[in-house]
Amino acid sequence: MLRNPALLAIAVTCLMATSPAEARGLSVSIVRTAHGIPHIRATNWQGIGYGVGYAYGQDNLCLIAEEFATIAGERSLHFGAKAGAVLGFEPVDNLSSDLFFRSAINLPALRKSWRKAGKPERQLFTGYVAGHNRLLRDLGAAGVPVACRGKPWVRPITLDDLLRLNEKQMLLAGSLNFAPAVANAAPPLQQTAVAASIALPDPHDTGIGSNGWAFGAETTANGRGLVVGNPHFPWFGPARFWQMHVTIPGIIDAMGVGIAGTPLPTLGFNQHIAWTHTVTAARHFTLHALQLDPQDPTAYLVDGKRHAMLRRTISVPMADGAAPITRTLYSSRFGQLLAAPATGLGWSGTSAYALKEANAGNQRGIGTWIKIARARSTADIRMAVESSLGIPWVNTIAADAQGNALLADVTAVPNVSAAKVAACATPLSQRLALRLTLLDGSRSACDWETVRGTPVAGLMPARDQAVFESRDYLANSNDSYWLTTPKAPAKALSPILGAAETERTLRTRSGLIEIGRRLAGTDGLPGTRLDHANAKAMAFANKSLAAELTLAPLLALCATDATLAPACAALVGWDGRFNNDSRGAYLFHAYWEKTQQLPGLWATPFSLADPVNTPRDFITSGEQGVKLRALLAEAVARLAKEGIALDARWGDVQTAPRGAERIAIHGADGPLGVLNVQRSIPVPGGLMPVHGSSYVQVVGFDDAGPVADAVLSYSQSTDPASPWYADQTRAYSAKRWHRLPFTAAQIAADSPGPVLELKE
């Protein structure tokens, strides 16, 4: 008899979560190599899902268990309504999170749509559920990691949990970041102080990012394709990457990473192709300004016809037996109502705003990634991406063994042309244009355009989005498609795909400059082509373009002010990089944080004729010089207050805690023009990275197949008791890459552990 209540609860829920039919015939083999990378081998898709669900839980059970509570709208119940967490890439209180998920996720519709999904997708999810639940049974209550042992939110899961999780991931870089504005939207007489204070986040400042480079035969040392991928993603939470290798003989053999709940690699390589992703500049939602019925703020007019808003009462369970909190939330034909009064998007008696999301209900993504993982060429990848429009919010950047390179900025994006954006603008649209697309909701003609051939009505067809194929190189660092290949900038497309013919970020420019130097042989590295060695050196060079453009004139300026002599001395000794041994880097970091916000920094403005090298020529004369000296003095005072020496080693300032250990972390924030991004928060004694370089890979090909070097900066497991909790973080700190084992012989030579055979 089971006398432990927690264990009994797990056992009972397991029986409810997985039917005998689902559990029958499951079989998988798992062997882990260096750094805990699981190689998961099965005879069918269900077995792969089974193995991934089990192995992921071994490394990150507490993380994913909390995530299942989040998407079920149970954070208030388990963690308290006023507490908070990061939802997507933005902090949010638990009550707002619960209200959003309970209102935004249409579970009946997801179930109905899922029944139409392909067999591989359905089997992967069914297997994942069974694998997660098998792990819980194998662990028992006493075997759950200490961090979440005995917690009621550690529970078996059902297919519904994965459907919710998939939906959240589709919304990750879109409407998910507006959750508080949706959760707290209410008609005028029902508004609260919380709702009145909400402002929309800036989609361009959510921290998400990445660098993705694809090199073709004309630029690589061996004439084959080569991919450099450096996604900048959170170091904490469910958007952390996790490494895996999945194999069904004759069907799929792919290695790479996915985030929590992903049943196969969504970024990685196989025998023939390698691919990475960067967050696209395209917008995956629109806002619609509603004209309200003067007599009823919960009704709106379209083409003069009155429509009542749909009302839905949401009940959120509370902790400690407290009564549930209920709210009535509203939606329109254009989606859920939101309110962000601090941004000018309040709900008044005459107007309101609705959010329409292109990725709502997008269950095509998993099928698309299955096709990518099985692709034999970049042409196969292009076909998969264009036909499904299932990639939610990232560019797809790839190269193949034949030396072809591809960049497809093709996602689930609203079909809104430049002409429609202009014709459907409201008085507020222009003010918000840099952040979002606001359309007139009082006219049906301002809704998304429907054309034939798209899997979902209202999505922009692939032919109107941006696709580049090359034997040279293609690059993206989260700016728009426009300067993907500087030799031939793209023509301007709809503004919903991002800005064209505009100034690029310092990080984008830095990447293009460094690639240009590599191909010209002026970067100090051997040769004029790309190979693994110089690609890895470029990825972790940690150069600062901001320093390259401004340090010399700054030193000349500060040399004229005796009070700044110690700062000048520290900066003279700085190598202009953010390596662990770079001294004086933190002083420049503190100085540039404020300096970049000054207007009129450059004497030579942005030029379409030279977009990679403009703007430039740092202005230090006159009033600008006075401001710059003051900002440098402020930076000196800041470091003194923090107790950090002006010439401190960067690796002594920016560190990742792993237990009592503090691991030096190289790289720095993107606005410094550093490619190897690490966005950090202040902590006593320095900085702690929270977002940035994650799974960094350099993948090329030889006659035998893929040759992949990689490192996962924050390591494979979030469990401090795991041997894979800090090992790759130390490797990242030392710029020590791991040659990934792909073939049976390579796996056998890479310190494999015992084979785990699971069946049921």
Q: Are 491 and 482 in contact (CB under 8 A)?
A: no
SS3 category, 247: strand
Give dist(CA 2, CA 688) in Å, integer. 44
Dihedral angle sign, alpha carbons of residues 527, 734, 702, 693:
negative
DSSP code at position 539: H
Peptide bond into 615 cis (omega under 30): yes
Q: Are 200 and 189 in contact (CB under 8 A)?
A: no
Q: Among 96, 97, 210, 442, which one carries the catalytic annotation?
A: 210
Give dist(CA 651, CA 630) in Å, integer. 27
In b/e form, how buried is each residue of 680-691, taking b as 16+ CB within 10 angstroms? beeeeebbbbbb
Q: Any residues with CB less than 8 A from the CB of 355 and at least 6 apart, and which? A: 175, 178, 182, 285, 286, 287, 288, 334, 335, 336, 337, 338
Relative to beta strand 27-32, strand 38-41 is antiparallel
Q: How many residues in the chain? A: 760
SS3 category, 732: helix
DSSP code at position 340: B
3-state secondary structure 588-624: HHHHHHHHCCCCCCEEECCCCCCCCCCCEEECCCHHH
SS3 category, 490: coil
Catalytic: 210? yes
Report the greatest alpha carbon distance in the chain: 83
Tell me how crowded residue 55 is: count the other CB atoms within 10 A of its CB: 25
Q: Are 585 and 578 in contact (CB under 8 A)?
A: yes
**DSSP string of 199-233?**
----GGGSS-EEEEEEE-TTTBTTSS-EEEEEEEE
Residue with tokens 């770079």: 582
Residue with tokens 């009946």: 108
In b/e form, how buried is each residue of 442-472, taking b as 16+ CB within 10 angstroms? bbeebbbbeeeebebebbbebeebbbbebbe
Q: Round the CA-based radius of gyration of the chain to a whole number and report it.
A: 26
CA proximity to 707, closest of 676, 731, 742:
742
CA proximity to 646, closest of 636, 632, 656:
636
Give dist(CA 739, CA 110) in Å, integer. 40
Give dist(CA 666, CA 436) in Å, integer. 33
SS3 category, 550: helix
From residue 686, alpha-carbon distances to 130, 648, 680, 734 in Å are: 44, 10, 9, 19
Token reading at 335: 């989606």
Give dist(CA 68, CA 54) in Å, integer. 15
| H helix count then E strand count, the chain | 23, 32
Q: Any residues with CB less than 8 A from the CB of 739 and at least 6 apart, and which? A: 707, 708, 709
Amino acid at 574: W
Bin 463: left if φ > 0, else alpha if -120 < ψ < 50, else beta.
alpha
SS3 category, 648: coil
Give dist(CA 578, CA 671) in Å, integer. 13
Which residues are catalytically annotated?
210
